[in-house]
Amino acid sequence: MSLIVKVGKKGKRILKRILKPTEKHYVCYTRRIERVKTDQRICAMTFDDGPMGMPASPDRFGGKTLTDVLLDTMAEYGAKGSFDVVGDTSANYPDQAGKLGSAAWGGIKFDHYPDIYCDDKGGAEHNDRLIRRMLEEGHQITNHSYRHIIFGKKPFVYGAREYLAGLDAAVEDLDRLHQLMKTRYGYTMMLSRPPHYVDKMTDGFTSYDAYDRMEYQYMAASFDGAGWLPSTHTDPEEALQAEVRAMIEPIRNALEKDPDFFCGQIIFQKDGYNMAKRTPVAFALGEQLKVLKEYGYRVVSVGELMEESPFADVGRDDPLFDKLTELVKEHAIVFSDNRLRLEDKMTIGELAMLLSPKKETLERRAAIVRKHKKAGAYDGAMSWCKEQKMIPVSAKAEQMVIALPDRYFEVTSDFTRRGVYAAYRM
């Protein structure tokens, strides 16, 4: 089954390139953070699906929970991580386990963490001590949703899965975990990763709309730590060792080819079982961190990585960096793939996103989607700007900017994004 998943994922990428060669990105408030621009040897590490209140498998750590093993290892190497936790999956019944080694190993209709019928051993709701340990040791906690139910349909692999009804259901689920962390620990989460990376919802909205409402950024990753896929070896010990090697060797090989390979990257890991109910991460994490340390890397949380630079294509060496980092706190200036594309010409739709207030932009876009089940990325902002007579009523979002409203900008003839942002009066 793991081979089927690998082949399927590769086939999907190829098909996507054929049917949609260039993925369209748009300026928005929520950006998908996969990596950031930096020449410093600093990278981030994330751990999905925990906390895991059961031992590693096989247990060679004296009964310690897997999360404790990971935290012990991180502490040994002075590393910090982003733990992308769930709340509680115990309401995800009736259900039954799928075939071991398949994506449905822990449930056919829903996910169950750390395992089916062991829901009371997983998630933030049941692991107060582990959550407090994460916070006390300086790790970041991010929102992987309360019940870990996918946001929309995912026919390949998860065709039998139940999914949420739409935007309101997704926001309610996210907010449930958000309020748990805020009320119990006084901790405010700022990042989230959707279950199984499913973005599209059946009501026309996406995970980006949900994160706009939550005031989150979308935490993705640029490098797969590989611990979630099981080996095809039939012998359990051989399989475990193959899985451990599959987690360590790609990191070592990448660094041997390019010592700066991981600068600004986010590495994906799992705080839980793989599809064969083993935890190779418990045995491989130390070696991964050891190799990174040998090359002079600091391993940090995604939040700390974003303090180095919040953008994928602009770093601290850019003369506009300080202004852009201030602008992005209140304005939509970055594309959904976290790139600024400063040297390209600005469109009227992008200008509207810069000028329109966030609340108005999102409310107007949501009203359009609820009515038509779809909307252009800039429809909400364009509507407000036209109403305020900042842009002509006949203007189209894809048209290039040829003039700027005087009261917002210094005089400039440079209508690249760099020129417009440089001229903007803050």
276, 306, 336 - which closes a domain: 306
Q: Is residue 5 part of a domain?
A: no
User: Where residue 107 falls among pLDDT bands split at 50, 70, 90?
Assistant: very high
| Pairing relationship of beta strands 27-28 and 334-335 according to DSSP bridges | antiparallel
Instruction: Identify the DSSP state of 140.
Output: E
Q: What is the CATH number of the domain that holds 142?
A: 3.20.20.370
Q: Is residue 18 part of a domain?
A: no
Same domain flag for 290 and 336: no
Q: Is residue 12 part of a domain?
A: no
Say whether pLDDT at 14 is over 60.
no
For residue range 189-200, list pLDDT tens digits in order.
999 999 999 999
Averaged over 8-19, what is the pLDDT? 51
Same domain flag for 134 and 278: yes
Residue 9 confidence (pLDDT): 52
Burial class (CB within 10 angstroms; exposed 0-12, middle 13-18, buried 19+) of 178: buried
278, 306, 334 - which closes a domain: 306
Averaged over 48-55, what is the pLDDT? 98
Residue 70 confidence (pLDDT): 98
Same domain flag for 52 and 137: yes
Residues 6 or more apart whose CB falls under 8 angstroms from that of 22 comprise: none
Distance CA 252, CA 258 (A): 10
For residue range 54-82, list pLDDT tens digits in order.
999 999 999 999 999 999 999 999 999 99
User: Where residue 10 falls among pLDDT bands split at 50, 70, 90?
Assistant: low
Q: Is residue 17 part of a domain?
A: no
Collapsed DSSP state (helix, strand, coil) of residue 168: helix
Same domain flag for 91 and 210: yes
Q: Show the tokens assigned to 314.
A: 């602009």
Same domain flag for 217 and 351: no
Collapsed DSSP state (helix, strand, coil) of residue 16: helix
Averaged over 341-359, what is the pLDDT? 98
Q: Is residue 20 part of a domain?
A: no
Distance CA 124, CA 153 (A): 26
Please give the residue range of the domain that contains residue 402: 316-423
Same domain flag for 137 and 258: yes
Same domain flag for 268 and 374: no
> pTM here?
0.94
Residue 401 confidence (pLDDT): 97
Averaged over 12-33, what is the pLDDT? 73
User: Where residue 227 falls among pLDDT bands split at 50, 70, 90?
Assistant: confident
Q: Is residue 408 part of a domain?
A: yes
Say whether pLDDT at 4 is over 60.
no
Same domain flag for 259 and 296: yes
Look over the chain and give the mean of its residue pLDDT values, rounded to a whole number: 94
User: Where residue 228 falls among pLDDT bands split at 50, 70, 90?
Assistant: confident
Q: Is residue 11 part of a domain?
A: no
Say whether pLDDT at 318 is over 80.
yes
| Phi, psi for residue 111 in degrees, rounded to 5 | -90, 150
Residue 155 confidence (pLDDT): 87
Residue 21 confidence (pLDDT): 54
Say whether pLDDT at 2 is over 50.
no
| Pairing relationship of beta strands 27-28 and 32-33 according to DSSP bridges | unpaired
Helices (H), 79-119: none
Say whether pLDDT at 344 is over 70.
yes
Averaged over 24-30, what is the pLDDT? 96
Residue 12 confidence (pLDDT): 52
Say whether pLDDT at 18 is over 90.
no
User: Where residue 7 falls among pLDDT bands split at 50, 70, 90?
Assistant: very low
Averaged over 391-408, what is the pLDDT? 95
Same domain flag for 172 and 257: yes
Collapsed DSSP state (helix, strand, coil) of residue 24: coil
Residue 229 confidence (pLDDT): 84
The structural domain count of the chain equals 2
277, 306, 335 - which closes a domain: 306
Q: Is residue 23 part of a domain?
A: no
For residue range 238-266, list pLDDT tens digits in order.
999 999 999 999 999 999 999 999 999 99
Same domain flag for 144 and 38: yes
Same domain flag for 75 and 164: yes
Collapsed DSSP state (helix, strand, coil) of residue 340: coil
Residue 156 confidence (pLDDT): 81
Same domain flag for 366 and 294: no
Compute the residue count for the chain: 426
